[in-house]
Amino acid sequence: MRDFYPDDVRLQNWLFDTWRAVSRSFGFEEYEGPIFEFLDLYRLKSGDEIVNELFNFTDRGAREFAIRPEMTPSLARMVAARANALPRPIKWFSIPRMCRAEKPQRGRLREFFQWNLDVLGVEDPLADAEVISAAVAFFRACGLTSQDVMMRISHRGVASAALAKHGIPRELIPQAFAVIDKFDRLTPEAFTPMCAERLGADVSAEALRELVTTATMDDCLELATQDGPAGIVDATALRQLWGHLESMGVADVCTFDLRIVRGLAYYTGSVFEAHARQGGLRALCGGGRYDDLTGLLDGPRVPGVGFGMGDVPMIECLKQLGKLPDPGDSIDVFVIDTDASLLPQMLEIVADLRSAGLRADFSYKRTGVGKQFKQAGGRGARYALIVGDELAERGEVTIKDLRTGQQQTVAAAELRQRPVEWLGGV
Ligand code: HAM
Average pLDDT, the chain: 94
Ligand 1 atom with the shortest distance to the CA of 285:
10
pLDDT at 329 over 90: no
Rounded to a whole number of angstroms, the CA Rg of the chain reads: 28
Pick the residue whose CA is nearest to atom 1 on ligand 1.
Answer: 286
- Reported as a pLDDT band with limits 50, 70 and 90, residue 189 is confident
Checking phi first, is residue 323 left (phi over 0); if not, alpha (psi -120 to 50) or beta? Answer: alpha
Predicted local distance difference test score (pLDDT) of residue 230: 92
108-160 pLDDT tens trace: 999 999 999 999 999 999 999 999 999 999 999 999 999 999 999 999 999 99
Is residue 327 scored above 80 in pLDDT? no
Pocket of ligand 1, beta carbon within 6 A = 70-72, 100, 102, 108-109, 112, 114, 116, 118, 264, 283-288, 306-310, 312-313
CA 285–ligand 1 middle distance (angstroms): 6
Instruction: Encode pLDDT of 8-44 as tens digits.
Output: 999 999 999 999 999 999 999 999 999 999 999 998 7
Asked if the model's pLDDT at residue 413 lies above 90, the reply is yes
Q: What is the mean pLDDT of residues 69-74?
A: 96
Cβ contacts of residue 183 below 8 Å, gap of 6+?
191, 209, 212, 259
Q: Say how many Å lie between the CA of residue 331 and the centre of ligand 1.
A: 36
Distance between CA atoms of residues 76 and 295, nearest Å: 9
- Which helix (H) or strand (E) is 67 found in, with range? strand 64-67
How many angstroms separate the CA atoms of 67 and 81, rounded?
Answer: 21
Cα 104 to Cα 2, 112, 356, distances in angstroms:
11, 11, 46
Whole-number Å distance between alpha carbons of 51 and 39: 9
Strands 270-276 and 149-155: what pairing?
antiparallel
Q: Is the model's pLDDT at 102 over the cut of 80?
A: yes
Q: Which of 370, 326, 328, 362 has the alpha carbon at shortest distance from 342?
A: 362
Confidence label for 387 from pLDDT (cuts 50, 70 and 90): very high
Atom number, ligand 1, closest to the C-alpha of residue 305: 32
Is the pLDDT at 263 greater than 90? The verdict is no
pLDDT class of 184 with cuts at 50, 70, 90: confident
Helices 156-165 and 217-225: crossing angle in degrees, nearest 10, is 80
114 Cα: distance to centroid of ligand 1 (angstroms): 7
* 308 DSSP β-pair partners: 116, 286
CA distance linking residue 129 with residue 415, whole number of Å: 53
pLDDT at residue 425, rounded to an integer: 62
